[in-house]
Structure 1
Amino acid sequence: MTELLTAAQMRAIERAAIESGAVTGLELMERAGRGVVEAVFEEWPALSQAPHKVVVLCGPGNNGGDGFVVARLLKGWGWEVEVFLYGEAASLPPDAKINHDRWCEMGTVARLAGAVKDEGAALLVDALFGTGLARPLGGAARVALASRAGKVVAVDLPSGLCSDSGRILGEGAMRADLTVTFHAAKLGHHLSDGPAHCGHLALADIGLVPGPDAVRLIAPPKAACLAKCAGHKYDHGHALILTGGAGKTGAARLAARGSLRIGAGVVSLGVPGSAQQEVAGHITALMLTRIEDGDALTQALKDRRINVLCLGPGMGTGERAKALIAAALDVGGFHPPYEGRSLVLDADALTVIAHDKALFGMLHERCVLTPHGGEFARLFPDIAEKLTTAATNGPAFSRVDATREAARRAGCVVLLKGPDTVIAAPDGRCTIHSAQYERAAPWLATAGAGDVLAGFITGLLARGLPPMQAAETAAYCHVECARAFGPGLIAEDLPEELPKVLRAL
């Protein structure tokens, strides 16, 4: 399942199931606890072979109720179980109180008042706070986070993390080796600090049906959208990618190579005279056209076969860059006879637009902006400030919130780059491409990788994919190329890995 839920959405799904009579809250709690135990044994098979010691930290809500179920099940498995409760038993929600009382028929509950003595424990179960945490942890709970048994499993979410943003609320959060969540992953499992604190993420099915309007993880694209049919090269689009001056053309050449590899029928590099010989000596399948300034670009764009432009990689931020962006936006939007031409704005182009309100105001729905964090802060300083301000209450402002707000303001698709890449459209649609957990690709932290991503998006737009789908598909293929190559990756390798990735699809 690729849906990612907020805490409120998860509560609504549970409430709907309970109110329909399909299940009781107590049954859901039992399924959750059993799901945790099963996930632990699957993650560490040796723990199922003989009794061990476990310390279970239970919180004052239903997450604590899940913890009491885990304690009871492991006790039945023959384990030595110690249970600590943060808060008062009398204040537990009804279902959690029932499971507290069931546990008390088997063992004792100690008050969690600080550090936990967990010597000899093979497992520490963090059931203090799950998805409902809305404030920093209290003193005793925060001290308990320092407890470290052989392995740590978090129930639903490591305590101290905001479920909707993945940000740490206050001063600290549990670091788990395994996090077991229920029904669907939450946004916080894939955003910001979430992956670093969750360890391995396991999903336990507790018998609920999906809800509407969830943010989704980007899934592998359907091969049909990347297949080529018989026809002329121009049937698959003509992309024009603008370069910088002499010595500044490498980034655009990387983008162009990526665009061509992902299937654009024709890719041309628009080059100033000072760099024409340099570029000509480096390209073969790519075409070259001389574009010195904005007027030259306007003239070149009379060729209506050019259906997408990419501006920014290595282009510089001076007057030439500003003139080229203005020309591209002027004839690239909805001004006859050039309706429907798409633009990818990356790197230097984003810096230029960030400092020119007039250019920013010319953005249209066929544009795709691809900022990294620094570029995003230049483009949307007030939005970025909310992301960098310490989170003290939940749900905290998230990268999903930020990207959605940016896309609405810009009136176009925004792709906020990172291991937790977020893509949003101005109508509120939003997806996450998570290069984390089993899809981690740390080798992408190399110069030029973002230029190739811009080229992938450009090529897919040339082939006719809508902006949101082009950005999603490019992000997926970009990471798959890195994973296919592995350690030692440099940006030039990404386009060359793409045929392997496409064949696998």
Structure 2
Amino acid sequence: NKETHNRMNALKYMGQSESIRMDQLLMGQQYGFSVDQLMELAGLSVAASVQKCYGSLARSPKRVLAICGPGNNGGDGLVASRHLVHFGYAVDVLYPKRTDKDLYKNLVLQCQHVGISFLDNMPAESELTSRYGLVIDSIFGYSFKGDIRAPFDSIIKTLTGLNSQSLPIASVDIPSGWDVEQGNVNNTFTPSLLISLAAPKKCAESFKGTHYLGGRFLPQSFLDEFQLNLPQYPGAEQCVDISLQPSSS
């Protein structure tokens, strides 16, 4: 019957501590992934999701603005930006708090080599809506805790003031400013597109917009260990639409 079918197809939404443990396990001896591998796969799936949902933007005069935070979520945004250029988009990056690690320095260098401009400041709302057709929010990921400090507090405030009709926002894994488990408790912006990575997080259960899943690399033994019931990715696709997928909770 339909209820049994829904239960069998129900997606598990992961909490913060479980998500952190999942990453630690993937990058441990048992599974042997490196952080740059995971970032590359995540960023590619973000770019693929954007292409699925905003394909016409690649042929328009408007640009994409990727706002990248200091951690791994920001790294995903840098990778996604580079792939989007290869997909035909014009991309600018705002990366106000750079991480002093070779991995991130190399990601910046790779972006510069494909012609991405790095902005010094967050554009004003009027410039955002006239110049850009999409903002990619890759500021904070699932490990973020505590208060939002400068400059990201004012950046998130600007994004919250935007009309999603005039300028959509695509968030990477977690909408920045949301509580990883409770959702939008701070009344910040709600993205038009959420791209969950590897598995959706609990905050996404209340999300009503377009919801894609990316990060197609988890081995079956890992899925079994975490009891993840992920949807089938079609063909060679890097992302899958899970907007209408029931949750298991």
The interval holding the TM-score normalised by the smaller chain is 0.7 to 0.9
Aligned partner of 1:29 in structure 2 is 39
Shift of 1:92: 4.8
Tell me the residue number matched to 2:73.
Answer: 63
Q: Compute the TM-score of the two structures, normalised by the length of structure 1.
A: 0.38
Among residues 239, 244, 249, which one is paired with 1:438 in the alignment? 244
Asked which structure has the greater CA Rg, the reply is 1
Amino acid at match of 1:178: L
Name the counterpart of 2:96: 86
Match of 1:181 among 196, 214, 224: 196
Contact 1:66 1:96 in 2 (8 A): no
Find the counterpart in structure 2 of residue 155 from structure 1: 172
Identity %: 21
Instruction: Give the equivalent residue in structure 2 for 1:359.
Output: none
Deviation at 1:150, TM superposition (A): 2.6
RMSD, aligned CA: 3.2
Q: CA deviation at 1:72?
A: 1.1
Question: TM (normalized to structure 2)?
Answer: 0.73
Query: How far apart in 2 are the matches of 1:76 and 1:44?
Result: 15
Distance between the aligned counterparts of 1:5 and 1:92, measured in 2?
A: 30
Quote how far apart the aligned CAs of 1:109 are. 2.1
Deviation at 1:180, TM superposition (A): 0.2
Kindly report which structure 2 residues correspond to 1:190-209, keeping only aligned pairs within 5 A, or say none. Answer: 190=205, 194-195=206-207, 199-208=209-218, 209=222
The C-alpha deviation readout for 1:262-288, integer Å capped at 9, x for no partner, is xxxxxxxxxxxxxxxxxxxxxxxxxxx
Structure 2 distance, partners of 1:17, 1:51, is 40
8 Å CA contact 1:115, 1:140 repeated in 2: no
Q: Which runs of no fewer than 5 residues in structure 2 stay unpaired? A: 1-9, 231-241
Q: CA deviation at 1:120?
A: 2.5
Identify if the C-alpha distance between structure 1 residues 166 and 215 changes in structure 2 by more than 3 Å, giving closer, same or farther.
farther
Q: Give the 3-state SS of the residue equivalent to 2:177 in structure 1.
A: coil
For the 8 Å contact 1:114–1:141, the answer to whether it is kept is: no
Partner of 2:223: 210
Secondary structure of 1:60 counterpart: coil
**Which AA in structure 2 matches 1:11?**
I
Match of 2:234 in 1: none
**Cα–Cα, structure 1 residues 95 and 158, in superposed 2: closer, same or farther, change >3 Å?**
same
**Cα 1:150/1:167, change in 2 over 3 Å:** closer
Per-residue displacement from partner, 1:16-53 (whole Å, max 9, x unpaired)? Answer: 22223543211111111111111122223423555641
The answer to whether the 8 Å contact 2:58/2:89 transfers is no
Count residues in correspondence.
216
Letter aligned with residue 70 of structure 1: A
- Secondary structure at 2:244's aligned position in 1? helix
- Return closer, same or farther for 1:189/1:108 CA change in 2, 3 Å cut-off: same
Matched with 1:72 is 82
Query: Kindly tell me: are residues 6 and 211 of structure 1, through their superposed partners in 2, closer, same or farther at Cα, counting changes over 3 Å?
Result: farther
Query: 1:8: how far off?
Result: 2.5
